[in-house]
Amino acid sequence: EAQVTQNPRYLITVTGKKLTVTCSQNMNHEYMSWYRQDPGLGLRQIYYSMNVEVTDKGDVPEGYKVSRKEKRNFPLILESPSPNQTSLYFCASSLSGAYGYTFGSGTRLTVV
Amino acid sequence: SQKIEQNSEALNIQEGKTATLTCNYTNYSPAYLQWYRQDPGRGPVFLLLIRENEKEKRKERLKVTFDTTLKQSLFHITASQPADSATYLCALDGSGYALNFGKGTSLLVTP
């Protein structure tokens, strides 16, 4: 089944403890992207990648890192999480910019 | 600054009627516009993409129009059903390869 898989689905962590949210797609898509979704603010793009080793900042990149060493994987790294990073995170992938995105099921992160 | 505006008020309609949702944008020159459906707590699901040189696109009960002069897209669901109740998101290609979303409009279809 064609899908984007994120892990974990739920995560509660403490301020400052480094964490990684994994994202993997099995559709051989070139484009991958991370979003966060907050009430009243909608979906905001954190980082996106057009291909292996090619990434760029979205609207809200502060406090996040990404890497794209393989086409299928696009992990999101929070080096020192803070409570304002508590949010619902989505990974998405697309064949190219002119096609619709397939989204993962989301990761609900709480930083205390 | 770039803006994508969708009605923040929920749209309530009766089953069987046509639902029409609006997406307006400013300071974009999009090559294409996309519509997604999102259910609570779940990831958005891609519905339709329309390109700048297309006026209208259809898929089953869905129809999207794209007016680059008015900077507006309309999304129609004909013969609406309670199962169509969800939040509908409009998205545009931004600078670089970014894809930016509006905040969405909630649709409630009552029997």
For B71-107, the pLDDT digits (tens) are 999 999 999 999 999 999 999 987 767 889 999 999 9
- Are B79 and B62 in contact by the 8 Å Cβ rule? The answer is no
SS3 at position B16: coil
- Across the interface, do A56 and B96 touch by the CB < 8 Å criterion? yes
> Half-sphere exposure (CA, 13 Å, Cβ side) for B51?
5
SS3 at position A23: strand
Q: To probe the interface with B, which of A30, A31, A35, A43 has the most B CB atoms within 10 Å?
A: A43
Phi, then psi, of A90 in degrees rounded to 5: -125, 135
**Would the CA dihedral through B24, B28, B34, B35 be positive or negative?**
negative
User: What is the percentage of chain A residues whose pLDDT exceeds 70?
Assistant: 100
- Report, as an integer, the average pLDDT of A16-33: 97
pLDDT confidence tier of residue B30, bands split at 50, 70 and 90 = confident
* Closest residue by Cα to residue A83 from A4, A19, A13: A13
Residues from chain B that touch A5, judged by Cβ atoms under 8 A, are: none
B40 touches chain A (CB under 8 A): no
Peptide bond into A83 cis (omega under 30): no
For residue A65, what are the contacts with CB-CB under 8 A and spacing of at least 6?
A: A76, A77, A78, A79
Shortest alpha-carbon distance between residue A61 and chain B (Å): 13
Q: Tokens in use for B75? A: 């999304």
Residue A1 has pLDDT above 90, yes or no: no
